[in-house]
Amino acid sequence: MDILEAVSAGPSAQRELLESGAITSRQLVEATLESMTRTQERLNNCVALYDTSALDAADDADRRRAAGDTAPLLGVPIAVKDDTDIAGFVTRWGSSANFRPAESDADIVARIREAGMVIVAKTTLPELAICGFTETETFGITRNPYNIAHTPGGSSGGSAAVVADRAVGIATGTDGAGSIRIPAACCGLVGFKPTHGTMPSSGGWYGLSTQGCLTQKVVDSALYLDTFGNFDGSLVEASKTDPAPLRIGIDLHPFPASAPLKVDPPVISAVASAGDMFTVLGHDVKTVRVPYGTAAQALSVRVLAGVRDGAAGTDDPTKLEKRSKQVARLGKPFGAKLVARSRAAGQKFGETLLEDLGIDVLLSPTMSGPAVKVGRWKGKGGLATMLGMGRFYAFTPAWNHAGQPAVSMPAGFTDEEGLPLAIQLIAARGDDARLMALAGQYERARA
């Protein structure tokens, strides 16, 4: 494997190359930085490249390895989403409204450094992580590597674009209503949202948001989550082991936050094909209907109150985009008691949902269709944008509300434009290992 292949190989393969001495972290990071420069010119997926500090960290990782350190991700490059603090650098949140450098590392960044990973860049996101597309007045448009006329999704759009373009093997993401799974679906990646409360630096938007990552392969997501999270059992081992036969329910009906769009035929076919595959693999597959009830309304309270607080917490809220200000105003009426009731409703919604349906895992689309074109919501106001996104991205938010693990998996491509298709798998809270096992089995079956 040459050095350019190593850049895109993913953390698990890079770990083996580094441990064997086939490459050094310095060599890997130098090549990664070159790739990051090229992808930035093409896709505009980074807000900063950390050339000097990354090379210093790579040299330190090589010294640690020479001294006998065997940390699993030692010397592996990673890009960090720009909603996560890195000491001494501004966390922009896709905005001109933030300009003061962070005083300290976020917990997840501190853990990344302790593990010896090398932070090579900060990646783009929509302002305040509000949107399912990555287009801002401050940083411009981030584009999809499969078709630059289309979005890489959001809010972890830059992270998805840089990994899908194979410029780095892994990037961090955060998911408050689908912000890991939507970009993963747009860019043909694995996007695993773990059970809430398992990862450091999580809990934003009143508990809706959790840390995670974007990768090309299931085992790489498992390795990252295992290293920094708190799970029952090894996710890496689970990713390599077929699960015992499971009860899998298929539901093509989206979360009714607003009038949903019809699901595109290629997406329906991808979900149906996955169901057929799981049947062949020995699972019991049936059709179900999730009883969402009033959970949709309760979810909106948490999202809008979270955006409101995020806007108020910027260095200069007057510099926010007009649309962001409008969305923040939508959350103004929601006080602490209403937010608390919303959180309780989400907890109750996910408590026994799958058990009541008689299933272990739910299978659904990730989005109503493939990645939308850039500019789909250009010029739209805050309410119109939220309603429009609620219609297209209707399959992901419920599982943040419920705190359940969910993963978006690549499921082929559209015939005409070659855009990625995806499916979503959802498990009960705490059932991350079994969900990872099913994702790994699905990935192997499609290989």
For 409, residues 6+ apart whose C-beta sits below 8 A from its C-beta are: 190, 218, 422, 423, 424, 425, 439, 442, 443
Q: Which of 81, 122, 193, 217 is catalytic?
A: 81
Tell me if residue 159 is catalytic.
no
Region 276-280 average pLDDT? 98
pLDDT at res. 100: 98
pLDDT tens for 298-357 read 999 999 999 999 999 999 999 999 999 999 999 999 999 999 999 999 999 999 999 999
Tell me how far CA of residue 48 lies from CA of 57, 89, 103, 121, in angstroms.
16, 10, 18, 6
Is the full-model pTM beyond 0.85? yes
pLDDT at 250 over 80: yes
For 430, residues 6+ apart whose C-beta sits below 8 A from its C-beta are: 195, 232
Q: Which of 179, 209, 239, 364 is catalytic?
A: 179
Region 270-297 average pLDDT? 94
Q: Which of 155, 201, 364, 368 is catalytic?
A: 155
Query: Is 3.40.1160.10 the CATH classification of the domain at 3-239?
Result: no
Tell me if residue 95 is catalytic.
no
Strand extents, DSSP E, 178-281: 190-193, 210-215, 247-250
Cα 72 to chain centroid, rounded: 22
pLDDT at 425 over 80: yes
- Structure tokens that stand for 310 in this block: 């995020």
pLDDT at 398 over 90: yes
DSSP string covering 345-385, please? HHHHHHHSHHHHHT-SEEEEESSSSSPPBTTTTTT--HHHH
Strand extents, DSSP E, 176-246: 190-193, 210-215
pLDDT at res. 256: 83
Domain ranges of the chain: 3-239, 247-297+322-446
| Residue 389 three-state SS | helix
Cα distance between residue 151 and residue 142, in whole Å: 7
pLDDT at 261 over 90: no
Q: What region does 272 belong to: left with phi over 0, alpha with psi -120 to 50, or beta? A: alpha
pLDDT at res. 135: 98
Cα distance between residue 399 and residue 404, in whole Å: 5
pLDDT at res. 358: 98
Q: Could you check whether 3-239 and 247-297+322-446 share the same CATH topology?
A: yes
pLDDT at 296 over 80: no
8 A C-beta contact, residue 267 and residue 275: no
Cross-strand pairs, 410: 422
pLDDT at 257 over 80: no
Tell me how far CA of residue 341 lies from CA of 334, 396, 421, in angstroms.
11, 21, 36
**Confidence at 294, pLDDT banded by 50, 70, 90:** confident
Tell me if residue 12 is catalytic.
no
pLDDT tens for 68-88 read 999 999 999 999 999 999 999
Supply the mean pLDDT for the chain. Answer: 97
Whether cis (ω within 30° of 0) applies to the bond prior to 221 is no
Q: What strands lie across the sheet with 77-81, from one edge to the other?
A: 46-49, 118-123, 77-81, 170-175, 210-215, 190-193, 406-413, 420-427, 361-365, 247-250, 284-287
pLDDT at 7 over 90: yes
pLDDT at 295 over 90: no
- Cα angle vertex 166, ends 2, 60, to 5°? 65
Region 250-262 average pLDDT? 87
pLDDT at 384 over 80: yes
Superfamily covering domain 247-297+322-446: Amidase signature (AS) domain (3.90.1300.10)
pLDDT at 226 over 90: yes
Region 22-41 average pLDDT? 98
- Structure tokens that stand for 6 in this block: 């190593």
> What share of the chain in percent tops pLDDT 90?
96
- Structure tokens that stand for 428 in this block: 């009960």
Backbone angles phi, psi at 331, to 5 degrees: -90, 0
Closest among 240, 202, 196, 242 to 221, alpha carbons compared: 240
Buried b (16+ CB within 10 A) or exposed e, 15-38: bebbeeeebbbbbbbbbbbebbee
DSSP string covering 90-143, please? B--TTSSS--SBPSS--HHHHHHHHTT-EEEEEE---GGG--SS-EETTTEE--
- Structure tokens that stand for 57 in this block: 């960290």
